[in-house]
Amino acid sequence: MNKTMVKFAFVLLTAAFLLMGCSSGGANNAQSVAATPTPITVNWKKDITPADIARIKWLEGTWRGSGEGQEPFYERYHFDGTTMTEESFSDENLANVTESAQYKLINGEFRHTQNAKRVAASEITDDHIQFVPVVGDGNSFRFEKQPGGKWRAVLEWPATGDQPAKQKIYNMEPYKPEKPAKK
């Protein structure tokens, strides 16, 4: 596809998205919108470098997470070059990985893709990284460096239909499993 065709396709998609957002919307319109993942109009960074990824290496380690109304949970973050792997564990023994995700630097975009959804970094500083949904619905989330070698995850969902916007905060602290007592 040449540049002119790409621009034309982009203009058409943007116009279609704006028309869907501005229509009065009946039940049929809502169903057709929900059936097809649409790009989110939030800007995300498309010029991230390996030096930017190095700024968030404070995430590397094994963490114990806690939050209001939440049982403790355990995660590990590891960097291999410009790829960050996140692993969630079933308990404090760290023996069983229950979920795993990889965030990769691809063509200037630091992103994670799963099924028909994709999130990408919209901002990286020395003390936080913000991710926003790029394709598909979902929430945005931010990892914020805290004093004492801790950090927190702030998850935010936009208001939809009759549901108000909501936020959930998880506090992450370094986790070092206790070594079994010697017999």
Share of the chain above pLDDT 90, in %: 61
| Residue 45 lies in domain | 37-174
Can you read off the two tokens belonging to residue 2?
């040449």
Residue 76 lies inside a defined structural domain of this protein: yes
Shared domain for 5 and 23, answered yes or no, is: yes
Shared domain for 82 and 138, answered yes or no, is: yes
139: left (phi over 0), alpha (psi -120 to 50) or beta: beta
SS3 of 100-112: EEEEEEECCEEEE
pLDDT at 169 > cutoff 60: yes
Mean pLDDT, range 152-168, rounded to an integer: 93
User: Where would I find the beta strands (DSSP E) of 49-149?
Assistant: 61-67, 70-80, 83-89, 97-106, 109-114, 117-124, 128-135, 140-146
Shared domain for 67 and 15, answered yes or no, is: no
Shared domain for 111 and 164, answered yes or no, is: yes
Q: What CATH number is given to the structural domain containing 46?
A: 2.40.128.20
pLDDT in tens, 95-134: 999 999 999 999 999 999 888 889 999 999 999 999 999 9
Q: What angle do CA 35, 39, 45 make, to 5 degrees?
A: 155
Residue 180 lies inside a defined structural domain of this protein: no
pTM score: 0.73
Shared domain for 41 and 68, answered yes or no, is: yes
Residue 20 lies inside a defined structural domain of this protein: yes
Shared domain for 153 and 129, answered yes or no, is: yes
Number of domains in the chain: 2
Shared domain for 81 and 117, answered yes or no, is: yes
Residues 94 and 109: their CA atoms lie apart, in Å, by 31
Residues ≥6 apart with Cβ < 8 Å to 104: 82, 83, 110, 111, 112
Residue 181 lies inside a defined structural domain of this protein: no
Shared domain for 102 and 88, answered yes or no, is: yes
Residue 101 lies inside a defined structural domain of this protein: yes
Higher pLDDT, 112 or 20: 112
Residue 167 lies inside a defined structural domain of this protein: yes
Shared domain for 28 and 44, answered yes or no, is: no
Structure confidence at residue 180 (pLDDT): 66
Residue 182 lies inside a defined structural domain of this protein: no
Shared domain for 32 and 47, answered yes or no, is: no
Shared domain for 52 and 31, answered yes or no, is: no
Shared domain for 111 and 63, answered yes or no, is: yes
